[in-house]
Amino acid sequence: MYESLIAFAAMLGLVILVRMPIAFAMGLVGFVGFGLMTSFNGSLAMASIITYDTGMNYGLSVVPLFILMGNFVTRAGLSDELYAAANAFLGHRRGGLAMATVVACGGFSAVCGSSLATAATMSKVALPPMRRYGYDDGLATGSIAAGGTLGILIPPSVILIIYGIMTESDIGLLFIAGILPGLLGVILYLVAVLVSVTLKPEIGPRGEKTEWAGRIQALWGVSGVLGLFGLVIGGIYGGIFTPTEAAGIGASGAFFIALFRRRLTWSSLYKTLVESARTTGMIFVILIGAEIFSNYINIAGLPDLLSEWVVSFDLSAIAVIILIMLVYVILGMVLESLSMIMLTVPVFYPLVMGLDLGEYSESLMDPEMALIWFGIIVVVITEISLITPPVGLNVFVLKSMLTDVKLKTIFRGVTPFWIVDILRLGILILLPGLVLWMPNLMAG
């Protein structure tokens, strides 16, 4: 069984030292390992079956559709309107522009689904006005980097879709479960800004106050996309349509919003479709590599080895969950979010399902709900890794966009948000019912 640990180390070596793309590293190690344990003819058959089944999987059609929806929304210029609406209500407060950035990031990521795209887009929209009013670069960039992390939790989230497919969980329930933790993240980020400007008022001066007529006009500017978000999530919650059907409706609605705003030309439509196809192809290749690697580690017995190791220490279920979270923090220093999910979920979720989580909380007695809860916890810790040094990807995206801002300034700026993220993670671990309240209502 220790061969699987060697394979795991070899795969990490290929990714970190050789800089091989993680999809190919997982596929190569899984293919060779499976071949050595069975036969290379069997390994070829396994890889070909996984490739065919992944390409033909109807459930995966939700991925390109939600990606297309996010790209159309981005093309429609929604980020400017969302920031304007948030700024109209919060900009006149101390630290209000940073608060507006957090709220706008949460709204934009809800329909974009990408943390990196949210951070890159909002840096162009939110940073200029904050600099104009004399905001500290740390607070300004920190609010953008941290706000961008909400993109992988607030539905529709591609990461939650991938988790649901890998664990055969209900994607609709995962989407609904992500709403309250996502809103909690927004609220705690606002608290982080408030505490920061209370301790140092000079880092976040007040902006101009917008009258109610201007606020209503700003809200009207985002009414279309907010209605689209409500239709997609409300339709899933109400059982009116499946997540795949919701993705089709969302993509169609986003197309018409971009068309109505006259932001689409034949050239931009072509670029949007190509970008969506490229992103979808990347995700599918990573999925195929992860499935090949997962097949190998399963027959090599890594989940069983981990279970035996945990039993030998006689740890409680909550202690095991905390240890898993520590592993995610360490991996998050060198891997990006999607790769980390693909790599670890096949290893950890069988272990979690073998724990007696019902003893820890009655909310987790149902294995399906326990899997939903674990998925949200995994995504939240992955969010934290996006702003954790030394390789917080959102931080590096901002650095690439803002060459005049030092890396240490951005990391200093995200520190208060990182602290409240740890607090949120603790709340969600200690109170599983907070995550599962809405899924239980939907399932009931």
Q: Enumerate the domain spans of the chain.
A: 18-443
- pLDDT single digits (tens) 183-224: 999 999 999 999 999 999 889 888 788 888 888 888 887 787
CA distances from 231 to 66, 76, 234, 235 (A): 14, 18, 5, 6
Please give the share of the chain, as a percent, with pLDDT higher than 70. Answer: 95
The arithmetic mean of pLDDT across residues 301-326, rounded, is 76
pLDDT over 70 at 8, yes or no: yes
Cα–Cα dist 402/394, whole Å: 12
Average pLDDT, the chain: 83
Matching residue, tokens 């909400």: 150
Alpha-carbon 122 to chain mean position: 16
pLDDT for 104: 85
Side chain identity, residue 89: F
Q: How far apart are CA 217 and CA 68, in angstroms?
A: 28
At residue 396, the pLDDT reads: 77
Residue pLDDT, tens place only, 409-430: 888 999 999 999 999 999 999 8
Q: Which residue has the higher pLDDT, 207 or 33?
A: 33
Contact between 280 and 67 (Cβ < 8 Å): yes
